[in-house]
A and B are shown apart, each in its own frame.
Chain A
Amino acid sequence: MKVGALAVACVLVAASAADLKGHSGPTTAEAKPHRVAEPIAQLPADAADGRIVLTRAQQRQAIASGTVDRPVRSLLAVESPLRYGDYKWNDRGIPAGPTWVRIDLRTQIISVFRAGHEIGTAVVVYGGDNKETPTGKLHILGKARNHRSSLYDAEMPYTLRLTNDGVSIHGSSVRWGAATHGCIGVPLDFAEHLFDATRTGDEVVIIPDRSPSQRSS
Chain B
Amino acid sequence: MSLTAARESLQATLLSRRNGAIAAFAGFAAAVSIGVLSDPQLASAVGQGVHQGVNGMKTVASMLAGRSPGERPKGALAKLKQLKHKRAAALPLGHHVLPPAAAVLAAPPAIIVPPPIAPAPLYDVVAGGPPIVLPPVPILTGGGGGGGGPPVLPGIPPPGGGGGVFVPPPIITTAVPPPPPVTSAVPEPASWAMMLVGFALVAGALRRKRRIAVQIVAA
What is A's interface to B at a CB cutoff of 8 Å? 52, 54-55, 57-59, 61-62, 65, 67-68, 72, 75, 78, 81-85, 104, 106-109, 111, 121, 123, 125-126, 128-129, 145-146, 148-149, 151-155, 157, 171-181, 185, 187-188, 209
Contact = CB atoms under 8 A, between A and B. Distances in A.
A188 B77 contact: no
Nearest to A68: B60
Contacts of B76: 177
A87 to B, nearest CB: 10
A58 B57 contact: yes
Contacts of A155: 1, 6
Nearest to A83: B69
A148 B64 CA distance: 32
Given A61-B57, A81-B67, A157 B72 contact: no
Interface in B9-68: 10-11, 13-14, 17-18, 21, 28, 42, 46, 53, 55, 57-61, 63-68
A176 B28 contact: yes
A104 B80 CA distance: 20
B190 interface: no
A181 B79 CA distance: 8
Most buried by B among A83, A106, A176: A176
Contacts of A126: 72
A181 to B, nearest CB: 7
Given A52-B63, A145-B3, A106 B71 contact: yes
